[in-house]
A and B are shown apart, each in its own frame.
Chain A
């Protein structure tokens, strides 16, 4: 969790993910009938990406990020399902110095892919836990992203609420919490050591199909 993903791990995930996506997309007919899909939109809030201290403390943080989440899962045991979730967000990010005003630094897009497990809490609620990768994609390579974006390991958990609204469709509301450690190549080059723990909370609402 504290370092940049190593090449072998990334290569393994790159090889595994297309297979999972193919299976989830209907490539395996037997599994297709048991598959659950969902699409949600919402907002993600995050703690500061960076705390620096030049003269006074400076914080860099993302603004509230509109987020699109696509998810799919398959049963792996009577109570449990394994799933894949893709979350895409975009927001501005800004710095704020203690006693000073905020400065807009640009826009950063995030893409998170998580492999997770889920299980029941009650009839309407299910827990969800997963690990994955989070990619930061700045629209401009400058400031803390002068040497480009960064990919970080991610771990998270959450709760889903589902309520049937149509024959095959459920209303789905989700609360997600995740955690990763943030740094960039530029920060490392400048001598920032360790990395910043970043916690994110996302609230989304959407439609789900399949799990009944």
Chain B
């Protein structure tokens, strides 16, 4: 075969080779806030971190059928799933509370015992709390994680339903492993949440949480 015949093919191969060098550039996740919970122990501070392992996905979530909670929970699941690029978290509403990994109910959280790590949110129209029960050694989560969302006014009052929705998303954030609050009011994980959507900072934080080796495991179902 004459070199002239191969010229188009060789030209294309060289052009393609030159264009194939650069890779996509990943965004910085340095805006993430501290998501781990630092607890005081006799031996000094202990850092608690957690994420649901792939083997436990989808996380089974049960919601009490009141105050539009199932819809709020589904919206929260959708938002948190969309925060991840690589299938790190998946949630599923289930009808049987006895098989749930996370139980979401209305009302105030009961007084927690020694093993309860309570994470609270306090928005103007409603409040929420997430109780994570640890085993005696303090290294394993005993499911279900319990989420409480409670309106502070009559449920039909202005802003209460929106508050219940964003507080549910906030509390689900705790249940999937963000054990601390953001210092920024633009984030859903701010201690007194006011935004309805997960922010880029929330997303970066969740990504870091799910790609960092957790200190806590979860007990078998």
Interface residues of chain A, those whose CB is within 8 Å of chain B, are 1-2, 50-56, 58, 60, 79, 95, 97, 101, 103-105, 117, 119-122, 127, 129, 142-144, 146, 155-157, 177, 179, 181-183, 186-187, 190-197, 199
Q: Contact: B24 with A193, CB < 8 Å?
A: yes
Q: Is the CB of B29 within 8 A of A54?
A: yes
- A55 in contact with B87 given A50-B24, A155-B16, A157-B13 (CB within 8 Å): no
Q: Is B85 an interface residue (CB 8 A)?
A: yes
* Complex interface: chain A residues within 8 A of B26 (CB): 51-54, 192
- Determine the distance from Cα of A196 to Cα of B1 in the docked complex, in whole angstroms: 35
In the complex, 22 of the A-B residue pairs with CB atoms within 8 angstroms, ordered by the A residue number, are A50-B24, A51-B26, A52-B85, A54-B208, A55-B211, A56-B211, A60-B86, A79-B5, A95-B85, A103-B54, A105-B87, A119-B8, A155-B12, A157-B16, A179-B16, A179-B20, A186-B85, A187-B24, A190-B200, A191-B27, A194-B22, A194-B23
1/0 per residue B14-35: CB within 8 Å of A?
Answer: 0110011111111111000000
A127 touching B6 in the complex, CB below 8 Å, given contacts A51-B24, A155-B12, A183-B24: yes
A194 and B1 contact, CB distance less than 8 A? no
Q: How near does chain B come to A83, taking the closest CB pair, in angstroms?
A: 14
Distance, CA A55 to CA B211, complexed state (A): 6
Given known A103-B54, A120-B5, A129-B8, contact A193–B212 (CB-CB < 8 A): no
Is A199 a contact partner of B5 (Cβ separation < 8 A)?
A: no
In the complex, how many residue pairs between chain A and chain B have their CB atoms under 8 Å apart? 106
Task: Report the minimum CB–CB distance from A189 to chain B (whole Å).
Answer: 10
Is B12 within 8 A of A129, CB to CB?
yes
Which residues of chain A have C-beta atoms less than 8 A from B86's C-beta? 52, 58, 60, 95, 97, 103, 105, 143
Majority DSSP secondary structure for residues of A touching B: strand
CB of A104, distance to nearest CB on chain B (Å): 7
B24 close to A195 (CB less than 8 A): yes
Q: Do residues A121 and B1 form an inter-chain contact, with CB atoms below 8 A?
A: yes
| Minimum CB–CB distance for A70 against chain B, Å | 22
B81 in complex: contacting residue of A50, A79, A142, A144, CB < 8 Å: A142
B211 with A54: CB separation less than 8 A: yes
Q: Are B85 and A119 in contact (CB under 8 A)?
A: no
| Distance in Å: Cβ of A54 to nearest Cβ of chain B | 4
Closest Cβ neighbor of A104 among chain B residues:
B87
A186→B1 CA distance, assembly (Å): 47
Q: Point out the residues of chain B lying under 8 angstroms from A105, CB to CB.
A: 86-87
> Are A197 and B22 in contact (CB-based, < 8 A)?
yes
| A-contact bits for B67-90, CB 8 A (1 contact / 0 none) | 000000000000001101111100
Which residue of chain B has the shortest Cβ distance to A105 in the bound complex? Answer: B87
Inter-chain contacts of A190 with B (CB < 8 A)? 27, 85, 200, 203
Give, as a whole number of angstroms, the nearest-CB distance from B57 to chain A: 9
Give Cα A37–Cα B86 distance, bound, in whole angstroms: 41
CB <8 Å contact, A117 and B81: no
